[in-house]
Amino acid sequence: MRNKTPFRLLVLLFVVTVLASWWFQPAAPVNSQIFPTFPIITLQPTLTPVPVSIGNFVWDDLDMDGIQDGEPGLGGVTVQLWNASRTLMINEYTTGPAGFYQVTAPGPGDYRIRAILPGAFDSFSPKHQGNDITKDSDIHPSGTYIGFSDIFTIPINTVSDFTYDVGIIVFGTATPTPPPNPINLGNFVWHDLNQNGIQDTGENGISGVNVQLWNSTKTQMINQYTTGASGLYQLTAPYQGDYRIFFLPPSGSSFSPKDQGANDDKDSDANPSGAHQGYTDIFTLSSNTTSITNIDAGLTVVGANPTPPLPGGSKIFLPIIKR
């Protein structure tokens, strides 16, 4: 029987050579029906969205200008977070006494803030007034989106946004405006004998001089008074504002120099010449003024008085038209 050992050794050597050539082949990919290659896929962990805090302030807009200027916060106001399409309310918060709120967005995305008016007759402040986004109101006061803010976007890596505020004009019964207090004006028309524009001893009052109260533009006479023997007069301004007084002396009269000396109670206040001859300069009556009694006029020359004055002087009041 023949020895088959050498043949078997040759077969084994061939098999080892083939396997070695396959095992130690280059790294370049080789298409193979037996051992196909597959791409390597690295799995990334899924990040959990970080909640985002949104606020900040609901205030009582006392002056109704849509700007926070030291006004107090409003408690008891419900503020809600909605999706951009207004189909889902996400969460809500009721303000405390200081007026602050905070709602939480589940993560980045588009949202709106909504505020609920606390009273049936309350209203929202004007939106986006001024140049400071931390001091304005972000809520639509009327229209389709009344009570809602515009859509805003929370980007990734954001943890908070405290710039969404709500101004509310709280309804209240209007305080009635008190009727204006009339203001008394006067005082004296005198004969300036030495023509120095100052009321000196021995210079007497002049009767028969018509004194009129006018508005500042000289387009409306309000009331008038004719001086008696003492030369005194009194007019009544109906309310605060700007006025002039006009002195209409007898024909042929001349006015004293204006604003002479240091004592305003003893000088003449009528312009002696020019476009405003006979008129005082404009003067202003404030809300806390009750009377002015130093508006005087001096006459250096007194013309003939064609109409004798009524005893004690006379007042004439005209209809008042407030402009």
Q: What is the CATH number of the domain that holds 246?
A: 2.60.40.10
* 320 and 187 housed in the same domain: yes
Give the whole-angstrom CA distance, residue 148 versus residue 115.
7
Q: What is the pLDDT of residue 314?
A: 45
List all residues 6 or more positions away from 54 whose beta carbon is below 8 Å from its beta carbon.
81, 102, 103, 104, 105, 111, 113, 154, 160, 161, 162, 164
* 266 and 293 housed in the same domain: yes
| 279 pLDDT above the threshold of 60 | yes
- Residue 133 resides in a domain: yes
- Residue 39 resides in a domain: no
- What confidence tens digit (pLDDT) does each residue in 302-321 have? 876 544 444 444 444 444 44
Mean pLDDT over 98-126 rounds to: 95
- What confidence tens digit (pLDDT) does each residue in 8-20 have? 766 677 766 766 6
Residue 297 is classified by DSSP as: E
- Residue 33 resides in a domain: no
* 226 and 310 housed in the same domain: yes
How many structural domains comprise the chain? 2
* 192 and 168 housed in the same domain: no
Higher pLDDT, 321 or 138: 138
| 78 pLDDT above the threshold of 60 | yes
| 219 pLDDT above the threshold of 60 | yes
* 195 and 79 housed in the same domain: no
Residue located via tokens 């396959």: 22
- What confidence tens digit (pLDDT) does each residue in 154-186 have? 999 999 999 999 999 999 866 666 677 899 999
Tokens of 116: 């609920």
* 131 and 161 housed in the same domain: yes
* 165 and 216 housed in the same domain: no
Give the whole-angstrom CA distance, residue 311 versus residue 323.
35
β-pairing, 314-317 vs 160-161, is: unpaired
Q: Indicate the SS3 state at residue 13.
A: helix
* 164 and 136 housed in the same domain: yes
- Which of 119, 143, 173 delimits the end of a domain? 173
* 204 and 312 housed in the same domain: yes
- Which of 146, 173, 200 delimits the end of a domain? 173
* 258 and 283 housed in the same domain: yes
* 283 and 298 housed in the same domain: yes
- Residue 100 resides in a domain: yes
* 215 and 140 housed in the same domain: no
- Residue 18 resides in a domain: no
- Residue 23 resides in a domain: no
- Residue 12 resides in a domain: no
- pTM above 0.75? no
List all residues 6 or more positions away from 92 whose beta carbon is below 8 Å from its beta carbon.
78, 79, 80, 81, 103
- As beta bridge partners, residue 185 has 235, 292
- Residue 278 resides in a domain: yes
- Which of 173, 194, 209 delimits the end of a domain? 173
Residue 151: domain span: 49-173
